[in-house]
């Protein structure tokens, strides 16, 4: 297999973007990525697009064809990839294999979701499709409810507190203050989180990622071609994926996501490194408990110690392992199909030293952890600075 590099990245603004439609978001992100890569669109030979619920949210299917048309890239092949909230990471993984296999030398990955055109009830129903409809959603469970079960069990087994959960949200809002693309630019305190309205005890509004519009794009090349094209590339050192049960009640443990553990181990094996070698990470913090479990599952901290590490500031910029420098899903926003691609955009900026105001000093390795549903799918990518 050939080695693969990221040569261009771009995003749209994330947020409640009432004046923009899905096409607008895709075009903004795509143009930014093509400009960043300094290539002509004719060099792109295939497109992989991640989106979860466009049919339910805006009534539009056939998204890959729409994206490639909107970006002016016809007639190249375009493929939609769906894996719930891991759709973007899965699209990137498919594009990675397209380059690694030798099928193409240059491809573009896009992730997009237009969520705010739907009502809250419609959005909740669409997102609920990532769970087990028969055994969870039709019985009244919601995703905040499912993650609340995980939080309560984590509290019971390890003494995790609501203050520890809140600390993850506070950190991510602080990071988003320096990200011009982020949905939120307001600092919050632990007290703000604790006193915000309860959604599913112990999770409160400020423990939860928002409903978001947005798009992100990444351009990949064969590594040798990338070296000829630019000095400003980042290598994809590993791409790994694993699965677990869709229904939460079928799992052996509620305090870990087994798919994340397996995917992370495989990614470290491919990259030939250990968790201690990672300098910056973007993990899937759809809820604050998800970030705490993630930093344990990928090996940054022993199981049960993620909450204490977060409260103690070990995941802040300048800490032991900076996590979610973009603001994460919590504060940068979570347009579900775009999230996994946005993570790689942020890590690329970090490894190139371009994350203004939130730069991790001398970052060499970055890890992206993208989860679908309550953990039935997990994709882990490791990027490295050449």
- Each residue of 297-340: pLDDT tens digit? 999 999 999 999 999 999 999 999 999 999 999 999 999 999 99
Q: Are residues 223 and 258 in the same domain?
A: no
Of 201, 234, 267, the last residue of a domain is: 234
Helix H, strand E, coil C: the string for 134-168 is CCCHHHCCCHHHHHHHHHHHHHHHHCCCHHHHHHH
Q: Are residues 9 and 138 in the same domain?
A: no
Q: Are residues 222 and 360 in the same domain?
A: no
What does the DSSP 8-state code read for residue 318?
Answer: T
Q: Are residues 188 and 245 in the same domain?
A: yes
Q: Label residues 135-161 b or e (16+ Cβ within 10 Å = b).
A: ebbeeebbbbbbbbbbbbbbbeebebe
Q: Are residues 222 and 318 in the same domain?
A: no
Task: Please give the pLDDT value at position 297.
Answer: 98
- By DSSP bridging, strand 46-50 and strand 78-81 are parallel
Nearest to 55 by CA among 114, 124, 142: 114
Q: Are residues 205 and 223 in the same domain?
A: no
Q: Are residues 246 and 175 in the same domain?
A: yes
Q: Are residues 158 and 136 in the same domain?
A: yes
Q: Is 347 a member of any domain?
A: yes
Nearest to 193 by CA among 172, 175, 176, 212: 172
Q: Are residues 40 and 181 in the same domain?
A: no
Radius of gyration from C-alpha coordinates of the chain: 19
Residue pLDDT tens, the chain, 386 long: 999 999 999 999 999 999 999 999 999 999 999 999 999 999 999 999 999 999 999 999 999 999 999 999 999 999 999 999 999 999 999 999 999 999 999 999 999 999 999 998 899 889 999 999 999 999 999 999 999 999 999 999 999 999 999 999 999 999 999 999 999 999 999 999 999 999 999 999 999 999 999 999 999 999 999 999 999 999 999 999 999 999 999 999 999 999 999 999 999 999 999 999 999 999 999 999 999 999 999 999 999 999 999 999 999 999 999 999 999 999 999 999 999 999 999 999 999 999 999 999 999 999 999 999 999 999 999 999 99
Q: Is 46 a member of any domain?
A: yes
Please report, for the chain, how many H helices and E strands are present, in that order: 14, 11
Q: Are residues 31 and 166 in the same domain?
A: no
Task: Please give the pLDDT value at position 120.
Answer: 87
We report the CATH number of the domain holding residue 67 as 3.40.47.10
Count CB atoms within 10 A of the CB of residue 18: 9
Coil, helix or strand for 271?
helix
Q: From residue 101, how far is each of 79, 95, 108 by CA, in Å?
A: 17, 10, 16
Q: Is 287 a member of any domain?
A: yes
pTM for the structure as a whole = 0.98
Q: Is 258 a member of any domain?
A: yes
Task: Please give the pLDDT value at position 293.
Answer: 98
Task: Please give the pLDDT value at position 25.
Answer: 98
Q: Are residues 146 and 10 in the same domain?
A: no
Cα-based angle 329, 349, 290 (whole degrees, multiple of 5): 25
Query: Is residue 202 reached through a cis peptide bond, with omega within 30 degrees of 0 on the bond before it?
Result: yes
Q: Is 294 a member of any domain?
A: yes
Q: Are residues 34 and 56 in the same domain?
A: yes
- Structural domain harbouring 174: 129-209+239-384
The end-to-end CA distance of the chain, in Å, is 18
Task: Please give the pLDDT value at position 121.
Answer: 87
Distance CA 339, CA 332 (A): 10
Show which residues are catalytic.
85, 334
Q: Is 124 a member of any domain?
A: no
Cα-based angle 131, 135, 136 (whole degrees, multiple of 5): 50
| Overall number of domains in the chain | 2
Task: Please give the pLDDT value at position 124.
Answer: 87
- Classify burial at 4, counting beta carbons within 10 Å of its beta carbon; exposed 0-12, middle 13-18, buried 19 or more: buried
Count CB atoms within 10 A of the CB of residue 253: 12
Task: Please give the pLDDT value at position 47.
Answer: 98
């Amino acid at each position: 297999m050939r080695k693969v590099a990221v040569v261009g990245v771009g995003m749209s603004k994330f947020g409640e973007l009432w004046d923009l439609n899905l096409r607008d978001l895709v075009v903004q992100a795509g143009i930014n990525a093509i400009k960043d890569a300094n290539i002509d669109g004719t060099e792109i030979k295939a497109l992989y697009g991640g989106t979860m619920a466009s049919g339910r949210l805006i009534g539009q299917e056939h998204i890959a064809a729409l994206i490639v048309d909107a970006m002016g890239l016809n007639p190249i092949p375009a493929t939609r990839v769906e894996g719930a909230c891991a759709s973007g990471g899965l699209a990137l993984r498919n594009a990675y294999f397209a380059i690694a296999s030798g099928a193409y030398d240059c491809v573009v990955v896009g992730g997009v979701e237009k969520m705010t055109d739907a009502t809250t009830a419609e959005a909740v129903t669409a997102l609920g499709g990532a769970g087990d409809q028969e055994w969870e959603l039709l019985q009244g469970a919601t995703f905040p409810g499912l993650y609340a079960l995980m939080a309560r069990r984590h509290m019971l087994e390890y003494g995790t507190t609501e203050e520890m959960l809140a600390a993850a949200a506070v950190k991510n809002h602080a990071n988003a203050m320096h990200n011009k693309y982020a949905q939120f630019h307001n600092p919050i305190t632990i007290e703000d989180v604790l006193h915000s309205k309860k959604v599913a005890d112990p999770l409160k509004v400020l423990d939860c990622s928002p409903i978001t519009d947005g798009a992100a794009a990444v351009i990949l090349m064969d590594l040798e071609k990338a070296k000829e094209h630019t000095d400003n590339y980042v290598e994809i050192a590993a791409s790994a994926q694993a699965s677990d049960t869709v229904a939460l009640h079928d799992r052996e443990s509620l305090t870990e996501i087994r798919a994340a553990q397996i995917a992370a181990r495989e990614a470290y094996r491919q990259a030939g490194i250990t968790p201690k070698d990672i300098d910056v990470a973007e993990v899937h913090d759809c809820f604050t408990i998800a970030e705490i479990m993630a930093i344990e599952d990928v090996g940054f901290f022993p199981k049960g110690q993620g909450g204490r590490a977060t409260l103690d500031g070990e995941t802040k910029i300048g800490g032991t392992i900076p996590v979610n420098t973009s603001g994460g899903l919590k504060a940068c926003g979570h347009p579900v199909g775009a999230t996994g691609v946005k993570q790689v955009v942020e890590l690329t900026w970090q490894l190139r030293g371009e994350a203004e105001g939130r730069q991790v000093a001398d970052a060499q390795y970055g890890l992206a952890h993208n989860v679908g549903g309550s953990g039935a799918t997990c994709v882990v990518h490791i990027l490295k600075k050449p």
